[in-house]
Chain A
Amino acid sequence: DVKVTQSSRYLVKRTGEKVFLECVQDMDHENMFWYRQDPGLGLRLIYFSYDVKMKEKGDIPEGYSVSREKKERFSLILESASTNQTSMYLCASSSTVWGQGFHEQYFGPGTRLTVT
């Protein structure tokens, strides 16, 4: 089974703190994604990466950065957390190889971040 794990299920941070959210996948997937999920808005893509050290902005990258130093790990960074970044953050990964679940994204359990 594909496994995507996220470092924390719940996190509480103060405004202005630097926040790191970690994601690890064990299926050697090329693509990795960070989303935030808010009620009534579905999931919105923050950043994605299609290879080590490669990254692309998604739909809402402002206030976030990412790092992918190893294929299995994709980190989301909030340089200076703000209250409007309180949300559920979901990580996902997918393969680019036909026959290995091409197009299918596998999601982690999510990190519920509260910024006070």
Chain B
Amino acid sequence: AQSVTQLDSHVSVSEGTPVLLRCNYSSSYSPSLFWYVQHPNKGLQLLLKYTSAATLVKGINGFEAEFKKSETSFHLTKPSAHMSDAAEYFCVGLNGGYNKLIFGAGTRLAVHP
């Protein structure tokens, strides 16, 4: 079975500085991995997904993530944070049939002026 671990529960950055949200996964096979974002009082929105094509995946709003098999990592990055990026981010794996998702515990990103 696949599992995902988000290494930071909170990350705080200044506006205009890079963002790094870390995620490690464990899987006995080639995983499918996702990042979702949840803004306050909103549902979850898909940022990007990795499904064994290119290892560098580009998503919406300038985010990207790199799949590194040797490190079992799928970290989310953005070159320059914007105030509107403040939200909770979930690293998610796919487990089994019927599209069952396995969620990490979430990382809350704060962006300061």
A residues with a Cβ closer than 8 A to B are: 4, 31, 33, 40-45, 48, 50, 56, 58, 90, 92, 94, 96, 102-110
Q: Are B43 and A96 in contact, with the CB atoms below 8 A?
A: no
Which A residues are in CB contact (< 8 Å) with B103? 42-44
Residues A109 and B42 in contact in the complex (CB < 8 Å), given A42-B105, A42-B106, A44-B103: yes
**Contact pick for A90, options B9, B43, B46, B94, CB 8 Å:** B43
Question: With contacts A31-B99, A41-B105, A103-B49 known, what are 16 further pairs, Cβ within 8 A?
Answer: A42-B105, A43-B90, A43-B101, A45-B100, A48-B100, A56-B98, A90-B44, A102-B99, A104-B46, A105-B44, A105-B101, A106-B46, A107-B43, A109-B42, A110-B41, A110-B43
Complex CA distance for A42 and B103, rounded to whole angstroms: 6
Q: Are A42 and B104 in contact, with the CB atoms below 8 A?
A: yes
Count the B residues whose beta carbon is within 8 Å of the partner chain — how many?
Answer: 22
Which B residues are in CB contact (< 8 Å) with A94? 99
8 contacting pairs across A/B (C-beta < 8 A): A31-B98, A42-B103, A43-B90, A45-B101, A90-B43, A103-B51, A106-B46, A108-B43
Which residues of chain B from 50 to 74 have a CB within 8 Å of any chain A CB? Answer: 51
- Which of chain B's residues has its CB closest to A110's CB? B43
Complex CA distance for A44 and B51, rounded to whole angstroms: 22
B90, B98, B103: which has the most chain A beta carbons within 10 Å? B98
> 1/0 per residue B90-113: CB within 8 Å of A?
100010001111011110000000
